[in-house]
A and B are shown apart, each in its own frame.
Chain A
């Protein structure tokens, strides 16, 4: 079964501390993995996708197929990073399939 698991509902860190938001997935084929961010009262925005291997706003995420994980990391958290973060999966290999979302992790960065 296709599934995305974000084990932490809430993650609270101090400004300047490293942050890691965990994401594990279950998928039988070759999925496409995404991280989306939703700031307060704003729409979902794409943060990262694993195929582009970019670093956005200091965040990185590496797809680990052995551990079926796609954890989101940032070495030094900022207050403006406080938001809801959703890990999502889509069937790869030419699929136009829908996104399957994790339950989300609320990141709170304290001053």
Chain B
């Protein structure tokens, strides 16, 4: 089956620093990847849609300059939280989809727990 690898699983950083989260599709090509944020005991909120070779599409209310997304290849998308603040502390999850109608549908990474101190 399809596997999406997300790293790191947990990161603690100081306020004002930047953190990069990687999301890789291991055995399929993902032209589209999605980045979600999940607050405790809440559902996943879509932050942005990442398309290989083009600019990401951000959801309303998500600061594109703060959450930089790069989808440089068909198997890798990165999310960089710039100048992190404590309110950015959250659980970030990436998802990748194989081709439309493909067998895997949407596959999720294991998530990254970001704590900004």
Contacts and interface: CB of A to CB of B under 8 A. Distances in A.
Interface of A: 34, 36, 42-46, 49, 86, 88, 90, 94-104
Interface of B: 31-32, 34, 42-44, 46, 49, 93, 95, 97, 100, 104-111
B31 A90 contact: no
Nearest to A102: B43
B100 A95 contact: yes
Contacts of B97: 96
B3 to A, nearest CB: 10
B107 A86 contact: no
A42 B42 CA distance: 15
Helix, strand, loop or mixed for chain B's interface?
A: strand
Nearest to B109: A43
23 contacts: A34-B106, A42-B110, A43-B108, A43-B111, A44-B95, A44-B108, A45-B108, A46-B105, A49-B105, A86-B44, A88-B106, A90-B106, A95-B100, A96-B31, A96-B97, A97-B49, A98-B34, A98-B49, A99-B34, A99-B44, A101-B44, A103-B42, A103-B43
Given A96-B32, A99-B95, A46 B100 contact: no
Nearest to A4: B43
Contact of B100 (A43, A86, A88, A94): A94
A102 B107 CA distance: 17
A44 B49 CA distance: 18
A97 B44 CA distance: 15
Given A94-B100, A98-B49, A99-B34, A104 B108 contact: no
Contacts of B105: 34, 46, 49
Given A43-B110, A101-B43, 14 more contacts: A42-B110, A43-B93, A44-B95, A45-B108, A49-B105, A88-B106, A90-B106, A95-B100, A96-B100, A97-B49, A98-B49, A99-B46, A102-B43, A103-B42
Contacts of B100: 94-96
A44 B34 contact: no
